[in-house]
Structure 1
Amino acid sequence: MGRGGKAENGTRKLGVFSVEEVTSHNKVDDKWLIINGNIYDITTWAKKHPGGAKVISHYAGEDATDAWVAFHKDKESVEKYMKALQIGVVKEYKPSPVIKDFRELRKTVENSGWMKMNPVFFVCQFLSLVAMEVAAAATMYYYGTDWLPYMVAVLLYATCQAQAGWTQHDYGHLSVFSSSKLNHWAHHLVIGFIKGASSHWWNFRHNQHHCKPNTLKKDPDIEITYLFLLGDYLPVSWGKKKKGVMPYNFQHNYFFLLGPPLLLPIYFHVENFYFVFKRKDWWDLMWTTLFFTKLSLVYSPLLGHWGAFWFYMLVRVVESHWFVWVTQMSHIPNEVEHDKQLDWVNLQLATTSNAEPSTFNDWFTGHLNYQIEHHLFPTMPRHNYSKVMPLVKSLCKKHGITYKCKTLYRSFADIYSSLKRSGELWYDAYHG
C-alpha cells in the first residue's frame, strides 16, 4: 500500500501497512519507524532530531516504541510535533508477550512514583562533590605539598571526579528534575564546570549506547577495534579476513596498560576537544574553559602551572581506572553482535549485567551495578533501581530470559576473561 495522501475533505489520509512493509524502510534515504502502532517517516526529519540523527536512525524499519518511551519525559509535547511525520498505522499491531508485560510493568513503575526523584538524595550527592573538591585543595594549602598530603589530595579529587561522573550521568539521562531544561543546565554545570567535559559530546555518544548497546556500527562504546576486539563474532570475522593491527591474543594483558590508565587522560580529552571544535560548540567550550581556569587558579599557586597540570593528569589516571572497570564490567563480557533487531527487553538483557547490590557497591558504582534496570528505565532516578529490581527479575523468569547478576569481583574478573576468550578466537581464526 502506498503512502498516505489527502482525503476529499482536506484532512490527511493515513495508510495501513504491515510490519514487514515497515521493515523494508531502513535505508539511508528511506527511514520509517513504528511508535505505539503509528508509522512515521523520519527520512528528512532525522537530521533535525534534538537527540541526534544517529540515535533515531538506529531504529529505522523497527518498532521504536519502548526506546521512545524510555528516552522521553515530555511525551505529550513531543507527540504534537510527531503528527506531521505520521504516514500510516500498522495493520493488526500486536506487541510480543514479553513487550506487552514490560509495558504493564512500566505502568506499575510510573503509578508507584518510582520515576520521581528524592531531592534529599541528589542535594546530598551534589554537596558531597563540592566538599571533596574543597577538601582536596585544602589538604595541600594546610599541610603543604609533600608527597603524603599531595597523594591524599589526588585521591580526594579523583574520588570527587569519579562521583561527579555518576552525578552528571543522572542529569544527562534527565532522571533528576521533571523539567528537561533544568536537567540540561545541571548537566552542563556538573560535566562542564566540575569535570571539564562537553555535555553535548556525552549525550551524542551515550544515547546511542543506550539505544543499541553492544551493537556493532551503532554503539560507539564498542568502536575500539584499533585496540581491542570484543565478543565472539567480531574476533572470528576479523581473524578469517586476516584483519587487525594488534596482537589481540594478548589483549587481556595489554588492557592493563592501554585501557584503564589512558582512557580518560588521553582518549577522552582528544575526543572531547575534537567534537567541540568540529561542531563549533562554543557553549560547551565555555564550560570546559571555566573548569580549567578554576583548576589553574586553585593549584597553580601551590604547584606552579606545570605542577598543576601533572597533578590534574594523575587525578585523571586514578579516576580512569575507577571509571573503566565500573562502566565496562556490565557490557564487555556480554553479547557483541550486529543488530539483530531484538525487542527492547531482550536487547537490554542480552547486552547488560548487574553486580550485586550493597551499600558500598551502590556508592562505588554510582548505582551502575543495577545496569539492567538502568537500561530498561534510563530516566529512572537511580535510588529507585532496587525497588523495580524484583519486578524485572519476575518478568525475566516468566519469559525465560536470563537475568545476569554477579559479585563485584566476578564482574571485574569477567572483563579480563572475556578479553582473553575474544583474543583466542581471533588468533585461532586468523591462523586457521
Structure 2
Amino acid sequence: MGKGGRKQLGSFSCQEVAKHDKRDDRWIIINNEVYNITDWSRRHPGGSKVIGHYAGQDATDAFRAFHNDLDQVQKYLLPLHIGSVQKGEVNKNYSLEKDFRELRQTAEKMGLFKPSYLFFFIHLAHIIAMEVMAYLTLYYFGTGWVPCIVSVCLYATVQSQIGWLQHDFGHLSVFKSSWLDHVFHFLTIGCIKGASPSWWNHMHYQHHAKPNVMGKDPDVRVDQLFVVGEKMPVKVAESKKSSMPYNLQHKYFFLIGPPLLFPVYFQFMLFRHIFTRKLWKDFIVVMAFYVKFFYLYTPLLGVGWVLVYYEVMRVLESHWFTWVSQSNHIPMDIDEDTAEPWIRLQLKATCDIEQSFFNDWFTGHLNFQIEHQSLKHSGELWEATLHAHHIS
C-alpha cells in the first residue's frame, strides 16, 4: 500500500500479463489498464468461463461488446486494478484495433444500434399467430396425417423463429432497460421455447468470447463425436483418444448430428444446468412451457402420440438450427487460442449469407453474422439500417 492507504499500482509488459492465464491466476488488460480478476471471475455475473477465456490477454473490445452500460461496470473494475501497461509498449494490433473502434463509434453516431420496436412486435406476433394455428389445425381438422403434418411443421417453425428472437433479448439488444430485456428473454426462451435462459447465456456468451476456438467455444466442443476444421483432426489424432470412426463421420453425421442436437443433447444439458446450479426460476419458466404444451395437445393426440408429435417437432427444429448455425461458422477457421485481436478473431470465425427476404427470415437475420459477431448486437438492427444508409 502507498501513502494514505492507497494501493500502489504497477507497470507491466504485455508479456508479463500473458503469464497470468491460469485458473488460479488471471490478469486481463482493458484500455491499457491491468486488472487481477482471479477471485472476481468466480463471482462474475456472466460466468467465470466467459471472462476467464481472456486471461493473460487484452480484453478491451470483448469488454466493450459484452457490457452495454460501461459506467455501471467501472465500479467493479476499481478494486481489481493493479496497474497499467508499460508506456512505450508496442501493440502490434494497434492500427487494426484503432480502426475497429472508430468504426464502432461511427456506427453508434449513425444510429445503427437503435432497435425498431415495431419489428420486434411483428416478429413476436407472427410467432404467436403460428403457435395458435398449430393448435387450431388439430382442433378443427382432426388428427389425421395431413393436419398432423401441417401442425407439427407450424410448431417447429414457431420453435425455430422464437429461437432467433430470444437471441436478441438474450443479448440485451432490444430495450434500453436490461431488466425488460431479461423479462422478454425469460418469456421467449423459457415459456415459448422451453429452454433455460441461464443455460443459453452460459453457452452462447462463451461462443461470442472465443468463436471457433477449441477448448473455449462450446459450439466446437464436438470432438467426442466429430472433428471439424483442419487443426482439430490433428489434435485428436495426436491425443490417441479417438472415440469414433471419424473417417465415416460424413455418413453418421446425418444420423446423430442434426436430428439429435435438440431432442437429446440440448434437452439433457439444459436440465443438467438447471439442477446442478439450482436455478429454480429457470425451472419454473421451462415447466410453464411443458405444462402448456401437454395440457393443450394431450387431449387431442393422447399420451403416446403427443410424445411422438413433440419429438418430431424437436427434430425438425434441430435440423433448422444446425444448418443455419453451421453455414456461417463451420466453414471458417477453427483453431486453438492464439490471442487474436477481437475483430480479426470474429472475422476468421464467421461469414455472412446472401441477403434476401427469405434468408433474413429463415436465419433470424443472423445471415449478417459478421456484423452481429463483431459488434455483439442483433443482426436485424444492422440489416435494417445498413440498407437505409447504402452501406455494403
TM-score, with normalisation over the residues of structure 2? 0.95
- Quote the residue 1:40 is aligned against: 35
Report the equivalent of 1:30. Answer: 25
- Secondary structure in 1 aligned to 2:358? helix
Q: 1:48 to 1:255 in 2, by over 3 A?
A: same
Q: Which residue of 2 aligns with 1:229?
A: 227
Aligned residue for 1:89, secondary structure, equals strand
Task: Show the counterpart of 1:63.
Answer: 58
CA separation of 1:35 and 1:339: change in aligned 2, threshold 3 A: same
1:319: how far off? 0.9
Match of 1:416 in 2: none
Q: Larger relative CO (CA 8 A, sep 6+): 1 or 2? A: 1
Distance (Å, rounded) in 1 between the aligned partners of 2:377 and 2:231: 31
What residue in structure 1 maps to residue 116 of structure 2?
Answer: 118
TM-superposition CA deviations, 1:333-373 (whole Å, max 9, x none): 22111101000011011111111111111110001111111
Cα 1:11–1:242 shift into 2, 3 Å: closer
Q: CA deviation at 1:245?
A: 1.9
- Among residues 333, 348, 351, which one is paired with 2:349 in the alignment? 351
Q: 376, 383, 386: which one pairs with 1:378?
A: 376
**Residue of structure 2 in register with 1:410 after alignment:** none
Q: Which whole-Å deviations, capped at 9, do the CAs of 1:372-431 have from their partners, x for residues lacking one?
A: 11111113462324645999x98xxxxxxxxxxxxxxxxxxxxxxxxxxxxxxxxxxxxx
SS in 2 for 1:368: coil
- Partners in 1 of 2:241 and 2:214 — Cα distance? 16
CA deviations on 1:253-297 (whole Å, 9 max, x unpaired) are 211111111111111111111111111111111011110000011
Rounded Cα–Cα distance in structure 2 between residues aligned with 1:371 and 1:389: 16
Opposite residue 200 of structure 2, the aligned amino acid is W
Task: Determine helix, strand or coil for the equivalent of 2:5.
Answer: coil
For residue 80 of structure 2, what is the aligned residue in structure 1? 85
Q: Does 1:158 align with 2:153?
A: no
Question: Structure 1 length as normaliser, TM-score?
Answer: 0.87
For 1:9 and 1:302, the matched residues in 2 are separated by 75
Moved more, 9-18 or 335-344: 9-18
1:176 aligns with 2:174: yes
Alpha-carbon deviation of 1:15? 1.5
* Percent identity (aligned): 49
Which residue is 1:281 aligned to?
Answer: 279
**Residue of 10, 16, 19 corresponding to 1:15:** 10
In the alignment, structure 1 residue 312 sits paired with structure 2 residue 307:
no
- Give the Cα–Cα distance (whole angstroms) in 1 for the partners of residues 163 and 253 of structure 2: 22
Corresponding residue to 1:333 among 313, 331, 352? 331
2:377 is paired with a residue whose SS is coil
Partner residue, 1:360: 358
Residue 10 of structure 1 deviates from its aligned partner by: 3.1
Could you tell me which residue of structure 2 aligns to residue 299 of structure 1? 297
Name the structure 1 match of 2:191. Answer: 193
Q: Deviations over 1:14-53 (max 9, x none)?
A: 2121212111111121111011111110011100000000
CA displacement 1:115-149 (0-9 Å, x = unmatched): 12110000111111110100000111111111111
Instruction: Please say if 1:103 is aligned against 2:98.
Output: no
- Unpaired segments of 5 or more residues in structure 2? none
CA change 1:60–1:389 in 2 (3 A) is: farther
CA distance in 2, matches of 1:182, 1:283: 16
Amino acid in structure 1 at the alignment position of 2:363: T
The offset of 1:244, in angstroms, is: 1.1
- Give 1:11 deviation, angstroms: 3.0
Does 118-127 or 87-96 show the bigger shift? 87-96
Which residue does 1:202 correspond to in 2? 200
Please tell me whether the aligned partners of residues 191 and 198 of structure 1 are also in contact (alpha carbons under 8 angstroms): yes
State the alpha-carbon separation in 2 of the partners of residues 113 and 240 from structure 1: 49
Shift of 1:328: 1.2
What count of residue pairs does the alignment treat as equivalent? Answer: 388
Q: CA deviation at 1:232?
A: 0.9
* Residue aligned with 2:175, SS: coil
Aligned partners of 1:199, 1:97: CA distance in 2, in Å? 38
Cα RMSD (Å): 1.7
8 Å CA contact 1:115–1:381 kept in 2: the answer is: no
2 CA distance for matches of 1:157 and 1:166?
15
Distance across 2 between alignment mates of 1:333 and 1:174: 28
Residue in structure 1 matched with residue 147 of structure 2 by the alignment: 149
C-alpha contact 2:368 2:379 (8 A) present in aligned 1: no
State the AA in 1 paired with 2:178: S
Q: Corresponding residue for 1:404?
A: none
